[in-house]
């Protein structure tokens, strides 16, 4: 156990990040369990504690009598400095034991720019960074989460990956581990779990390359290791184990409210969106299940706000009933319901009107692109007419602040498409002035934000070249100068972070060396602009003899072996190709709620049915 002295804690910012002991956190007798698991989030406490998936898995793991799951987060650099100076190893919050005393470290991969924090967390615990050099007596390092769908850039850091939803697979892996624990048989353990559906053990596969640096072949080293790794998902999502208790932090975290997961998957089929592909099929929980879960969670957490979570909440088949039921049930309780983001249509505006009767704090819409042609290319099925109609209805209902999210640097994008961002924002602002003065609320503010598009694996745009930094700078300028309304504020991101994100997102095994090198040169908290240092990364890329542009700016051919091709997400590659071809022609694909679009998920994975538990009579 580490003694984190007050002499250290009083010197750092937000010491409550490092002390644990929150409401509902789990304490067990470490002598009476077989498996000690440290759930690691490679970012600061407030960010990590807001992540629903981690909270679910903390609960799932601790439901096992034989397992004690604790939490670890990346210490903020001020705390890291103190810990390193005082020789304190990174520890888990519950027992305060160093991470190197655990059987497993499980990292969740939510964004590429958190990877150097993983390395730093290992290093701070005295754990060997490279998996190939890590000893028998060191913990087994595993990882999961959306970024694990291209695991290769971490192939020599992580011993094994879990692909897909963790609830069941985690149990399968731990059951096997009990046989091998403490016997010095790490290799045998990894070999055995490689046969569990959803598990990928990188050390059991080898890659060869062509002269042009593309992949020649990816194959298992042994005959008994599966050629393809098939993702896992929970078939009956309505009955999946959902925590009745959640840890309630003392300090304010990013999402400080009760989170209720309504459904997984998404039917919209936006072509840029990885989540929309990898989380298929769509499966819902019933309103009855959700209302019951909400009750239990409110009771155990003491929260006064319920947030409904999913990829596109207004697409929940029974949304109106769910919201009305939750509001009615909790009227006397002073509990409010909130939606993280809403679809752009008047149905959704009516819904939010129902919820935010009093406080009209501001609404966020995501048209994603400025022109109709571009929205059709990305298959964002929304017309300008609908957007303006929704905006008008928003202003008429008493809101005066709207946020609009866009992307720049999308495939097949022209300067005209980019200027469309400015035009659409102006038009949205224009809708405000069409509303009579006595109806609209004063103080119009339209904030248009643009992110830079990063092509992601398992999307129809996985073959696309990212727009160059120079290109993006030009485009951002074009948007800035094209805005005429004084009510519109334009925010944009730096393009260099997106470049690196693109390198890592579609990187292969050779990018792993770059990440290690960058870490050695001091890279950490790369997702935080105050710590991101592009020069470090440029040097690392150069010293590793890797060409960043090869990964970010190169358009791939359909024939090329992609680093993540061995993973089967259930959606056919042919479907992604077809979608990309349709994008080129700006052709729309319908929402698969209306009619199946033959992505392959229900053919390939017989155990899962699309729209499980959803109300089918409502579209």
Partner 1 sequence: MKILKKGRVSIVRYLIKYSKDSEIKFIAHLDLMRTLQKIIKRSELPIEYSKGFNPHMAVSIAQPLSVGVHSKGEYMDIVLSCELEEKYIIDIMNENSPRGIKILDAVKVIPVEGKKKSQAMAIIDAAKYTIKLKCTKEEEVKETLQEISSTSEWNIIKKSKSGEKMINIKPLVYKFEYKVDSSILAISTLVACGSRDNLSAHLLADYMKKNIQSINKEAFVDIQREEMYATKDGKLVTLSEFLKNQ
Binding site for partner 1 (CB under 8 A): 5-7, 9-10, 15-16, 19, 21-25, 248, 250-252, 298-304, 334, 358-359
Q: Tell the smallest beta-carbon distance from residue 547 to partner 1 (Å).
A: 47
Does residue 355 contact residue 338 with C-beta atoms inside 8 Å? yes
Which residues are within 8 A (CB) of 400 and not within 5 positions of it... i.e. 6 or more apart? 360, 432, 440, 441, 442, 443, 444, 445
Does residue 394 contact residue 440 with C-beta atoms inside 8 Å? no
CA angle in degrees (0–180, nearest 5) for 110-112-115: 95
Nearer to partner 1, 27 or 433 (CB): 27
Does residue 316 contact residue 284 with C-beta atoms inside 8 Å? yes
Nearer to partner 1, 250 or 433 (CB): 250
Nearer to partner 1, 10 or 222 (CB): 10
Q: Cα–Cα distance between 291 and 327 in angstroms, integer?
A: 10
Q: Tell the smallest beta-carbon distance from residue 22 to partner 1 (Å).
A: 6
Beta-strand pair 35-41/67-73: parallel
Q: Tell the smallest beta-carbon distance from residue 298 to partner 1 (Å).
A: 8
Q: Tell the smallest beta-carbon distance from residue 11 to partner 1 (Å).
A: 8
Q: Match 């593309």 to its residue by tokens.
A: 214
Does residue 163 contact residue 203 with C-beta atoms inside 8 Å? no
3-class DSSP state of 364: strand
Dihedral of the alpha carbons of 95, 141, 255, 165, in degrees to the nearest 10: -120
Q: Tell the smallest beta-carbon distance from residue 54 to partner 1 (Å).
A: 19
Nearer to partner 1, 336 or 425 (CB): 336
Beta-strand pair 401-408/363-368: parallel
123 closest CA partner among 108, 109, 105 = 105
Q: Tell the smallest beta-carbon distance from residue 164 to partner 1 (Å).
A: 34
Q: Angle formed by the axes of helices 495-505 and 534-543, to 10°?
A: 40
Residue 324: half-sphere exposure toward Cβ, Cα within 13 Å? 6
Nearer to partner 1, 358 or 594 (CB): 358
Token code pair at residue 313: 């909440």
Q: Tell the smallest beta-carbon distance from residue 333 to partner 1 (Å).
A: 8
Nearer to partner 1, 211 or 358 (CB): 358
Q: Tell the smallest beta-carbon distance from residue 251 to partner 1 (Å).
A: 5
Q: Cα–Cα distance between 351 and 318 in angstroms, integer?
A: 12
Nearer to partner 1, 306 or 552 (CB): 306
Q: Tell the smallest beta-carbon distance from residue 242 to partner 1 (Å).
A: 19
Nearer to partner 1, 250 or 347 (CB): 250
3-class DSSP state of 421: helix
Nearer to partner 1, 1 or 415 (CB): 1
Beta-strand pair 263-264/283-284: antiparallel
Q: Angle formed by the axes of helices 115-124 and 510-520, to 10°?
A: 60
Nearer to partner 1, 212 or 332 (CB): 332
Token code pair at residue 385: 């007419």
Q: Tell the smallest beta-carbon distance from residue 108 to partner 1 (Å).
A: 25
Beta-strand pair 305-309/258-261: parallel
Q: Cα–Cα distance between 201 and 187 in angstroms, integer?
A: 10
Q: Tell the smallest beta-carbon distance from residue 330 to partner 1 (Å).
A: 11
Bridge partners (DSSP) of residue 365 are 404
Nearer to partner 1, 9 or 235 (CB): 9
Does residue 311 contact residue 277 with C-beta atoms inside 8 Å? no
């Amino acid at each position: 156990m580490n003694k984190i002295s007050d002499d250290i804690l009083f010197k750092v910012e937000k010491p409550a990040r490092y002390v644990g002991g929150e409401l509902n956190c789990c304490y067990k007798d470490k002598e009476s369990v077989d498996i000690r698991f440290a759930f690691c989030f490679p970012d600061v406490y407030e960010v990590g504690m807001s992540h629903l998936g981690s909270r679910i898995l903390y609960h799932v793991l601790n439901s096992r009598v034989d397992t004690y799951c604790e939490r670890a987060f990346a210490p903020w650099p001020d705390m890291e400095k103190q810990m390193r100076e005082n020789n304190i190893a990174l520890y888990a919050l519950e027992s305060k034991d160093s991470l190197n005393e655990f059987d497993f470290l499980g990292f969740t991969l939510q964004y590429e720019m958190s990877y150097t924090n993983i390395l730093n967390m290992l290093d701070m615990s005295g754990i060997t960074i490279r998996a190939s050099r890590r000893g028998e007596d060191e913990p087994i390092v595993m990882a999961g989460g959306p970024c694990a769908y291209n695991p290769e850039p971490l192939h020599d850091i992580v011993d094994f990956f879990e692909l897909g939803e963790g609830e069941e697979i985690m149990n399968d892996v731990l059951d096997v581990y009990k046989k091998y624990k403490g016997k010095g048989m790490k290799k045998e353990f990894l070999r055995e779990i490689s046969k569990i559906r959803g598990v990928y053990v990188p050390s059991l596969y080898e890659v060869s390359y062509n002269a042009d640096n593309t992949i020649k072949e990816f194959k298992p080293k042994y005959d008994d290791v599966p050629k393809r790794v098939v993702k896992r998902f929970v078939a009956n999502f309505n009955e999946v184990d959902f925590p009745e208790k959640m840890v309630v932090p003392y300090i304010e975290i990013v999402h400080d409210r009760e989170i209720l997961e309504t459904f997984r998957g998404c039917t919209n089929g936006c072509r840029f969106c990885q989540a929309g592909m990898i989380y298929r099929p769509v499966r819902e929980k019933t309103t009855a299940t959700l209302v019951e879960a909400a009750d239990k969670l409110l009771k155990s957490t003491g929260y006064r706000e319920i947030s409904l979570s999913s990829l596109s909440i207004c697409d929940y088949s029974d949304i109106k009933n769910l919201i009305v039921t939750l509001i009615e049930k909790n009227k006397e309780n002073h509990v409010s319901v909130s939606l993280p983001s809403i679809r752009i249509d008047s149905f959704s505006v009516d819904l939010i009107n129902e919820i935010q009767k009093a406080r009209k704090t501001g609404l966020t819409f995501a048209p994603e692109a400025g022109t109709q042609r571009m929205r059709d290319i990305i298959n964002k099925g929304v017309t300008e007419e609908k957007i303006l109609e929704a905006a008008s209805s928003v202003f008429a209902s008493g809101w005066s602040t709207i946020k609009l999210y866009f992307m720049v640097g999308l495939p097949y994008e022209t300067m005209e498409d980019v200027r469309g961002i400015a035009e659409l924002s102006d038009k949205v602002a224009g809708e405000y002035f069409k509303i009579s003065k006595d109806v609209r609320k004063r103080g119009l503010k339209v904030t248009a934000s643009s992110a830079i598009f990063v092509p992601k694996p398992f999307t129809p745009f996985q073959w696309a070249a990212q727009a160059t930094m120079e290109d993006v700078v030009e485009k951002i300028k074009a948007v800035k100068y094209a805005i005429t309304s004084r009510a519109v504020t334009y925010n944009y991101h730096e393009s260099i972070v997106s470049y690196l994100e693109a390198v890592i997102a579609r990187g292969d095994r050779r990018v792993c060396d770059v990440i290690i090198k960058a870490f050695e040169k001091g890279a950490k908290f790369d997702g935080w602009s105050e710590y991101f240092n592009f020069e470090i990364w440029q040097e690392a890329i150069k010293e590793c003899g890797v060409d960043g542009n090869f990964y970010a700016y190169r358009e791939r051919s359909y024939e090329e072996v992609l680093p993540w091709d061995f993973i089967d997400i259930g959606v056919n590659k042919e479907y992604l190709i077809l979608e990309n071809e349709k994008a080129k022609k700006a052709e729309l694909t319908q929402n698969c709620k209306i009619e199946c679009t033959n992505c392959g998920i229900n053919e390939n994975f017989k155990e899962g049915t699309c729209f499980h538990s959803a109300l089918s009579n409502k579209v």
